[in-house]
Amino acid sequence: MTSLDRPQPKPGVMDIAAYVPGRESAPGAAKVWKLSSNETPLGPSPAALEAVQEATQHLERYPDGSASKLRNAIAEAHGLNPANILCSNGSDELLGLLAQTYLKPGDEGIYTEHGFLVYRIQILAAGATPVVVKERNERTDVDEILAAVTDRTKIVFLANPNNPTGTYLPVDEVKRLRAGLPRGVLLVLDAAYAEYVRRNDYEAGIELVSSNDNVVMTRTFSKIYGLAALRIGWMYAPSHVVEAVNRVRGPFNVNSIAIEAGAAAIRDKAHVERAVAHNETWRTWLTEELEKLGLRVTPSVGNFLLVHFPMEGSKTAEAADAFLTSRGYILRRVTGYGFPNALRLTVGCEEANRGVIAALAGFLGR
């Protein structure tokens, strides 16, 4: 029997390298610290947990297909029109919906060299062609993106800040990118880590979406809100984009528990402030300690650090990963992102942060 005797996936599908999530087990280690998926060490707001309990009372009912309660809560928190918000089962789903809605075979979707891998997966899944552009010093290069645009370009995916580098593009540069794109190209600003950024020249995308027809901003409850398990994402987009994506999405793509938990979480601003403060303190501390150990760290505005290991000798990222894992510290390998000799470290709780630095000092023989 040849493979032609069975159903064939459409072109592009078998070119996808399936997404590999951060590991969560470290066999043999007494205590495990998962620092591989950019999850918050603070967990979700207590108000969100309470809302989850409430929401389990009527699981026989379909959710509100328009997720009105969640959209209204998001709109209120950010000062937006709820009609321009669309919610999803994690922002990953939204990235896929945007690709399905705007890309067909023959079209091109652009993302950057070290950009989030879900973009490539979703461009291929839509049957379109991924176009990867160079970064400069682990930062998005607007000129490289603009130079890669062709008649076939339909979408540009940009994580800002980017994962796994943690670098960001200042608002003036995002505006220059938008201004240089043809009107028919959709610019997707993936702002999964926006809440963590405290820089005056950063803007997640609200202003750009409000003033243009071809920009959307995607957000998530998986990171600072600590609700990754419930899968809640949303986008702020022009009405014509919301109207198109609403036709493509599943009618009940956000479940009732997610709707209630998300609405409660976004109202708890104090919880977000605590998470930001914790992150600022420990990201700074971790960066300094890693540099004292002689490791290069890409300057990050997110809740994670890209840590580079020496190119020569035996102290490679692979060896560090094995050493740390055996001691219960799980970091993320980033070979698939073009960094074969780096690891991504999520800012954890104090005990995890101090422990991972001590373990790395042991690994490096300091």
Ligand X SMILES: *Cc1c(COP(=O)(O)O)cnc(C)c1O
228 binds ligand X (CB under 6 A): yes
Three-class SS of residue 88? Answer: strand
* Residues 177 and 143: beta-carbon distance below 8 Å: no
| Residues contacting residue 127 through CB under 8 Å, at least 6 positions apart | 10, 11, 12, 103, 104, 105
Question: Which one among 220, 253, 287, 325 touches ligand X, defined by CB under 6 A?
Answer: 220
The residues in 126-185 that bind ligand X, with binding defined as CB under 6 A, are 159, 163
Among 102, 116, 196, 236, binds ligand X (CB under 6 A): 116
End-to-end alpha carbon distance in the chain: 59
> In the bound complex, what is the minimum distance in angstroms from residue 161's beta carbon to ligand X?
8
- Residue 158 CB, shortest distance to ligand X, in Å, is 10
**Distance from C-alpha of 187 to C-alpha of 266, rounded to nearest angstrom:** 25
Q: Which of 92, 135, 203, 321 binds ligand X (CB under 6 A)?
A: 92
Calpha distance 34→337 (Å, rounded)? 20
Quote the CA–CA distance of 356 and 214 in Å, as a whole number. Answer: 43
Candidates 192, 266, 286, 307: give the one binding ligand X (CB under 6 A).
192
Per CB under 6 A, the segment of 20-28, 60-68, 221-229, 239-247 that binds ligand X is 221-229
The residue within the footprint of ligand X, chosen from 45, 84, 222, 353 (CB under 6 A), is 222
Query: In this complex, which beta carbon is closest to ligand X, that of residue 158 or of residue 357?
Result: 158
218 in Cβ contact with 188 (< 8 Å): yes
* From 41, 233, 238, 262, residue interacting with ligand X (rule: CB under 6 A): 233
Segment 240-299, which members bind ligand X (CB under 6 A)? none
Number of residues that bind ligand X (CB under 6 A): 14
How much is the CA Rg of the chain, to the nearest whole Å? 21
Q: Is 204 in the site for ligand X (CB under 6 A)?
A: no
In the complex, what is the shortest distance from the CB of residue 272 to ligand X, in angstroms, rounded to a whole number?
A: 16
Alpha-carbon distances, residue 323 vs 11, 13, 64, 348 (angstroms): 41, 36, 48, 18
225 vs 329 by CB, closer to ligand X: 225
Q: Give the Cα separation of 319 and 89 in Å (integer).
A: 36
Question: What residues line the site for ligand X (CB under 6 A)?
Answer: 38, 90-92, 116, 159, 163, 190, 192, 220, 222-223, 228, 233
